[in-house]
Chains A and B, each alone.
Chain A
Amino acid sequence: MESVQSASEVFDEVYLDLRAGLLVLAASLDRIDRCEGSERIGEDLRRERIGQCLEILATPGLNRAEQIQVLFSDPYTPGWNLTDPADPADPADPADSTDSTDTSASPGDDT
């Protein structure tokens, strides 16, 4: 189901939303940076990812949303189910995660 709109039509349609979104992003980063302790935020993996997202946005392509989704994802190990899940030393254990940042705390987000 390919788009029936031209690029120009889509750009006209989304321009103000993009502008508004960028301003929200800029203002949020400004707000963080003017608060006490802002220097420590630079060491937070989540802040690093935000910076990487901005690099993805600045790169031409057709799958930037997918790239950003993957950037915000835990790593996956192919073949995890072909090894012994009971082995605590097994790096493919499904509970294994290299990212301790839990961002999924939305209370109703469990449907």
Chain B
Amino acid sequence: MYFFDPHVHMISRVTDDYERMARMGCVAVSEPAFWAGFDRGSVDGFRDYFRQLTEFEPTRAGWSGVQHYSWLCINAKEAENVELSREVIAMIPEFLDKPGVLGIGEIGLNKNTPNECTIFREHVELAMRTNELILIHTPHLDDKYKGTRMIVDMLLEDDRVDPGRVLIDHVEEHTVGLAREEGFWCAMTLYPVTKCTPSRAADIIEMYGDDRIMVNSAGDWGPSNPTAVPDFIMELRRRGYAESQIKKIVYDNPIEFFSGSERFEFTPPDVFRFRENAPAGLDAE
């Protein structure tokens, strides 16, 4: 089955992962900007990062026939540095006309602090001013419920925010309803230990339905699995669901949401020609 991984940090993965994902049916990925494992020291550090996201990653993905999209922001963890965050937010528009940039993300909260709230609101302001989609990170573990509610509260403060243009990510059993009842899109992350297993994600689909929801691997530099979406597909197959029902969640829904961006140019796999789209190869060394 073809699938779209709507949240995966391929910059942290090796090229072989693109190849493995493609062989398992991945036709496209979207990659939000995130924390690199250390706090970056300058706006130029982010400028280089955004160049890598918007220039080199699409090229590298193309070697395996995977279409690559990206999101730009300074993540919640680094938002504690308000001065740097504001410099990054002011610089983001330099990249907003790059092909494949879908919007602002993944913005959100980490420890639910006042500084994180300040920078979250300023990212939303940028997205409203530039008419961008928004992809939202919600906190982990004990912080998630409170943080998700705070995020929804802040989004509802702004009359310009259209919930149909906002994706709230990393939802679990106690937060999926918060996102959906206000009309937001949401996504479940299939992640070892701290987020959803494929089985729990399938349970949530059974309880809340398959509209405005998707699943992702959030594969990154930590323990994670960039082929987690196929695990979810297998879970639904074992439970007896039709291929068309599964396809809606792992392929149709991401495409429907991302189509809200004018820069989302997607070639369906039935007409995609690998040789015409694959960039010339490069040696890593």
Contacts and interface: CB of A to CB of B under 8 A. Distances in A.
A85 B114 CA distance: 7
A80 B224 contact: no
Given A66-B174, A95-B113, A109 B154 contact: no
Nearest to B221: A108
Contact of A111 (B149, B172, B218): B218
B222 A107 contact: yes
B146 A73 contact: yes
B48 interface: no
Given A1-B245, A74-B143, A69 B172 contact: yes
Interface string A10-26: 00010000000000000
B106 A111 contact: yes
Given A1-B209, A1-B241, A111 B114 contact: no
Size class of A's contact patch? Answer: 35 or more
B154 to A, nearest CB: 6
Size class of B's contact patch? Answer: 35 or more
B220 A108 contact: yes
A72 B141 contact: yes
Interface in A78-111: 78, 80-81, 85-86, 93-95, 97, 99, 101-104, 106-111
Nearest to A64: B173
B222 A1 contact: no
Interface stretch (B88-96, B199-207, B256-264): B199-207
Interface of A: 1-5, 13, 63, 65-66, 69-70, 72-76, 78, 80-81, 85-86, 93-95, 97, 99, 101-104, 106-111
Interface of B: 7, 9, 32, 34-35, 37, 75, 77, 106, 110-114, 116-117, 137, 139-146, 149-150, 153-154, 157, 172-175, 189, 191, 193-194, 200, 203, 205-206, 209-210, 218, 220-224, 238-241, 245
